């Protein structure tokens, strides 16, 4: 959608980036276009959150509960779900599952801002409006929807020390792997 200069917290003027190119830069490894992802070749899918999930993988940042999910993201979520394979989502990414997988249980943390500790707490209401169940969890926890094999954790939805966010993401990954039988 646009590039943010995180040193200023504002959009950068006249700068563009390509999601696939940025993914390759961050991953430092072999990547492929999401259009090529097939549940038949993988044990699970994990979606990181952040502004990319809200602005590039969906239109949630602009449209809230009326958002659209990128066609390949929707396909992947439905495909892994239909195959009974685990899906992990962190930070804002649980809204993707809430939009695509009706009745799913997810967490984005707490439902009240609590003096700024949970600045995006309103997201829980959007999740409920999408027909999903929001489960209150702390930043170091993950929620496991056993029926749908969906694991979520709040991550950066909480203003806290980075090591707490790391711990919660680690719990999410561990739970996804457990659902895979690994």
Give catalytic residue positions.
91
CA distances for 171 relative to 5, 63, 119, angstroms: 30, 30, 22
Residues in the chain, overall count:
182
Cross-strand partners of 88: 46, 151
């Amino acid at each position: 959608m646009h590039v943010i200069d995180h040193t200023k917290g504002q959009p950068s003027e006249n700068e563009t980036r390509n999601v696939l190119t940025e993914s390759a830069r961050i991953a430092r490894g072999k990547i492929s276009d999401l259009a090529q992802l097939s549940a038949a070749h993988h044990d699970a899918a994990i979606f990181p959150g952040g502004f990319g999930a809200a602005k590039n993988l969906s239109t949630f940042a602009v449209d809230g509960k009326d958002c659209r999910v990128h066609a390949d993201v929707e396909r992947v979520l439905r495909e892994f779900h239909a195959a009974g394979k685990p899906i992990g989502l962190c930070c804002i990414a649980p809204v993707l599952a809430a939009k695509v997988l009706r009745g799913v249980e997810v967490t984005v943390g707490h439902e009240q801002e609590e003096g700024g500790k949970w600045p995006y707490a309103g997201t829980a209401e959007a999740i409920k409006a999408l027909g999903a169940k929001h489960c209150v969890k702390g930043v170091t926890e993950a929620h496991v929807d056993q029926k749908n094999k969906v694991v979520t954790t709040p991550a950066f939805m909480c203003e806290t020390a980075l090591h707490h966010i790391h711990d919660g993401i680690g719990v999410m990954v561990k739970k996804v792997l457990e659902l895979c039988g690994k």
